[in-house]
Structure 1
Amino acid sequence: MTDFSGDHRRLIDTVAAPDGARIDGAAVTYDHDGRTMEGYTVHDAAVAGPKPAVLIVHDWTGLREYPKARAHMLARLGYFAFCADVYGAGRRFDDHEEAAAEAGKYYGDLPLLRARVRAAYDVLAADPSVDRDRIAVIGYCFGGSAALEFARTGAPVRGTVSFHGALIAHEPADVAAIAGPLLVLTGGADSVVPDAAVAKFQDELRTRDDLDWQVTTYAGAEHGFTLPGEAYHAAADRRSWRELEAFLGEVLNGG
């Protein structure tokens, strides 16, 4: 396993590895429009055959330990997980002002944001260990917004999940092409995504009668409630992970 720090190792260990599992993780270099990207892939190599897969989009600090830890958790559940790299190889940020500036480039250019997620999706779907007809996309904070934007393109994913992502409402509505169900997990004390933003986003979703969507709000949870740090909210993290498991079981495994 990658040498994870204490918080992230403890997070991974909340999901038990199956007996005989061989969880293999590795960096994957790919290209988008002339820029080198460095994603991360992990799955249980002891299990043969194409697997249902989950594409994970990182928060605004870039592809660091946290999304990789989530990928290991998903691999222990039997999924092939691939962490997208939206920013490009080497672009990882400890400073939140720098991270905000980098994320802002993509919030200001949604076609580019969508294209970066698509590039990662294409790498994942081409992997021979993946069942390309059973792929979901999830994201955290910035990555939650990115996952939802990717869904708007009509991407052939079975479902999309946003954890404490900014909810960008489009005017006019832009939900006609969304192919699968949406699960939006947000904090009841999130000052970045207040109730008014949630309501506006839901109103856009309601413009399409047949769209399958669910928004869950966790009392007392602030923005970034699953991320180790000051905003971490143990109950919201635990409950949102259970919702993710149930959602993936339904959309990827027919459960």
Structure 2
Amino acid sequence: MISEIVNKPFVYDGPGGPFEGIVSRPFEDTKSVRGGVMVCHAFGGQSDVEATHAERLARLGYVGFAIDVYGQGRRATTGDEATALMGEMDADRVLLLERLKAAHTAMQEMENVAADRTAAIGFCFGGKCALDAARANVGLKAVVSFHGLFDRPAWASTPPDVIEASVLVLHGWDDPLAKPNDVISLTDELTMASADWQLLALGHTSHAFTHPRADAPAEGIVYSEKATQRAWSIADRFLAEHLSE
């Protein structure tokens, strides 16, 4: 694992922008071309949690890009603010997709990123973002959803178009925001789309299980170190499989 990492803010354009993300890459790595991984944020907006994930990806040898789909400076400080920000995107999934495309294009144009070796991972609302990017075939090799939300956007065709990216879904079975019927609907969709998909369902595991500050058992939102370790172990192998040269 790479020890020295550079983390820098990165401002880019898109519909309703500008947007500000965080780019993490190996230190003094100015010539090497690496796979790029977008980190799609949870409902509160791009935060230290997503920045930490981007840095972790850089230590594994990728360029990690914690993206922003709300807009520069638009970050939630309360649960109500987060719900409102996410609601804006849920109400306009076409705009959300255009912002995801803008982030992906910005990453592809980075000097150190191999434009044909890109992936997206996402957490909670970010899992929905990653899945939408896969549904739209924006050019990703692989997509990982961690405790994501599975509802299909209205723009998605029925039956679904072929999904070109490989898809890994990491799901807490006790997640109240993605119940068993929702899981079946997603896997049916992925199968109909001829996607190369995998699903890991983690028993006795709630929503937001990778988030170290998740502590609302009554709402089904609980951090699990064991589930986090298991999920990342599989995600690491999955990304290595699809982003290797």
TM-score of the two chains, using structure 2 as the length reference: 0.91
Is residue 152–residue 174 contact of structure 1 (8 Å, CA) maintained in 2? no
Q: SS where residue 137 of structure 2 aligns?
A: coil
Shift of 1:133: 0.9
Residue 142 in structure 1 maps to residue 125 in structure 2: yes
Q: Among 212, 216, 223, which residue is 2:196 paired with?
A: 212
Q: Partner amino acid for 2:12?
A: Y
Q: SS where residue 32 of structure 1 aligns?
A: coil
Shift of 1:174: 5.7
Shift of 1:22: 2.9
Is residue 205–residue 211 contact of structure 1 (8 Å, CA) maintained in 2? yes
Q: SS where residue 148 of structure 2 aligns?
A: coil
Q: SS where residue 167 of structure 1 aligns?
A: coil
Q: SS where residue 68 of structure 2 aligns?
A: coil
Structure 1: runs of 5 or more not aligned:
1-16
Shift of 1:34: 4.6
Structure 2: runs of 5 or more not aligned:
216-221
Aligned to 1:183: 168
Residue 102 in structure 1 maps to residue 95 in structure 2: no
Is residue 15–residue 98 contact of structure 2 (8 Å, CA) maintained in 1? no
Q: Partner amino acid for 2:147?
A: H
Distance 2:162 2:138 in 1: 8
Q: Classify 1:59/1:174 alpha carbon distance in 2 versus 1 (closer, same or farther; 3 Å).
A: farther
Shift of 1:126: 0.3
Q: SS where residue 106 of structure 2 aligns?
A: helix
Shift of 1:155: 1.1
Distance 2:103 2:203 in 1: 33
Shift of 1:111: 0.7
Is residue 153–residue 177 contact of structure 1 (8 Å, CA) maintained in 2? no
Distance 2:96 2:163 in 1: 16
Aligned residues: 235
Superposition pairs for residues 151-190 of structure 1, below 5 Å?
151-169=134-152, 173=158, 175-190=160-175
CA RMSD of superposed structures (Å): 1.5
Distance 1:52 1:174 in 2: 31
Encode CA deviations 1:11-42: one digit per residue, 9 max, x unaligned: xxxxxx53xx4310100111212521111101
TM-score of the two chains, using structure 1 as the length reference: 0.88
Q: SS where residue 178 of structure 2 aligns?
A: coil
Residue 44 in structure 1 maps to residue 26 in structure 2: yes
Residue 84 in structure 1 maps to residue 67 in structure 2: yes
Residue 63 in structure 1 maps to residue 46 in structure 2: yes
Shift of 1:176: 1.5
Shift of 1:173: 3.3
